[in-house]
Structure formats: structure tokens, C-alpha cells
Amino acid sequence: ETGVTQSPTHLIKTRGQQVTLRCSSQSGHNTVSWYQQALGQGPQFIFQYYREEENGRGNFPPRFSGLQFPNYSSELNVNALELDDSALYLCASSPNVQGAVYGYTFGSGTRLTVV
Amino acid sequence: GQSLEQPSEVTAVEGAIVQINCTYQTSGFYGLSWYQQHDGGAPTFLSYNALDGLEETGRFSSFLSRSDSYGYLLLQELQMKDSASYFCAVNRGNNRLAFGKGNQVVVIP
């Protein structure tokens, strides 16, 4: 059991650029959720992927998009970066869509800084 | 709509007991989770309460009162490694968690 792995750990981008963040879910987990955590705040739900389909989305604009692959790994893409996108991006996996009940396994996140 | 209220910070000595409160206001409620997050680390699942009452897991216990829209996390026999941020999160039944702002616990010798 390797847990959730995210890459890269840190990233600096310029306003207007695009970024792709990657997540490998824990072995046996088919559901991946992405959260954005601003400094000093709790994580905010971006979206969830289950069996390669988006399965719920939070209040984030369309420039936030994602993918899930057949091996259940996932990507988060953010276009037209804004300064307010600077945050810790967390990936969380669960063995099914009931992660909210049985607990998510989170990765350590990608710290994105937009300058 | 929804809101989760958590006090911001508490300092306590090793061996003490700390209670972290969480009040919520939400249009849908299925349960309340608690997560621990060390600085720069991954949030770690601690507990989930779907029904009223107390759930005990080792040194940590979590309580829920649905009628009061209130829950708390009780940390007993505090250890230095318990220094972290603690978040309550509402399960609104739509495959997502709504987290509060968190409460930082600082344990001193």
C-alpha cells in the first residue's frame, strides 16, 4: 500500500499560464477527489472522478478541469492562471464514492505559487 | 447554503485534554468528519459521525448532536505529536466534504 502520491511538490507559474498537477491514487482506490487549500483555510472541493467520469463539481470555474485514467490516476489542469489560484492542491482517493463516509486518503499536495 | 465555525487556536500542555468544537449550518447533512493535518502534510482521517452520540477511537473521541448542528473532537492524553490543525467537515451527501477553517492545536511540554 503506497498511499497517494502527488507531483510536483512545488511549482511556480506566471499569471496566464497553464498548469497540470498529477496524482496517483492509493492501490485499490477507484475514486479521486481534488481539493484546493488556501493558506490558513480548510480544503475546498474542486471535483471528483469515479471510473474516469466526473462525479461532482464544486464552485470552481471551467478553467479548472480534470482527467482520470484507466489506472485511476488523475490530473488537474488549470488554465489562465490567476494570482488567487496560489494554494495547496490536494488529491484524495477512496475505494469507492463513499469516501465522505469512510474517510479519504489524502496526498501531501502540490504547492502552487502564481506570480 | 452552509457554514462551519471552528475556533482558531488552542495551546495545551502534554497530558492535557482538549476539546475542539464545530458548529455547522448546511442545507444537507449526512455526517461529520474530522481530519488532522500537520504543517505541510496530508490531511489524515480521524473519525466520522453519522448519528448522535460519542465515537471513541483510542485517545480521540468525536461527538455529534444533529439537533444542535454541533460536534466536537476530544483529544485526550495530549502528546507533542498531536500538534496540528484539526478540521471538521460536513458530508452533504453529494460525494464531497465541506471543510471548516480548522483549529490549530499547539502542545507544549
List pLDDT tens digits, range A20-65: 999 999 988 999 999 999 998 999 999 999 999 999 999 999 999 9
- For residue A79, pLDDT over 60 is answered with yes
Q: Which of B89, B71, B74, B63 is nearest to A101 (CA)?
A: B89
| Residues B106, B13: Cα–Cα separation, whole Å | 8
Three-class DSSP category at A101: helix
* pLDDT the model gives residue A102: 86
* Alpha-carbon distance B54 to nearest alpha carbon in chain A (angstroms): 16
Q: Would you state the pLDDT for residue B3?
A: 60
CA dihedral A109, A49, A96, B89 (to 10 degrees): 50
| Grid cell for residue B2 | 452552509
SS3 A99: helix
Residue of chain A minimizing CA distance to B91: A100
Test B45 with A33 for CB contact under 8 angstroms.
Answer: no
Which residue type sits at A48?
Q
Between chains, do B43 and A58 touch, taking CB under 8 Å as contact?
no
| Confidence (pLDDT) at A100 | 84
pLDDT, position B1: 42
Write out pLDDT tens, residues B14-70. 999 999 999 999 888 999 999 999 998 999 999 999 999 999 989 999 999 999 999
Contact A55 B95 (CB under 8 A): yes
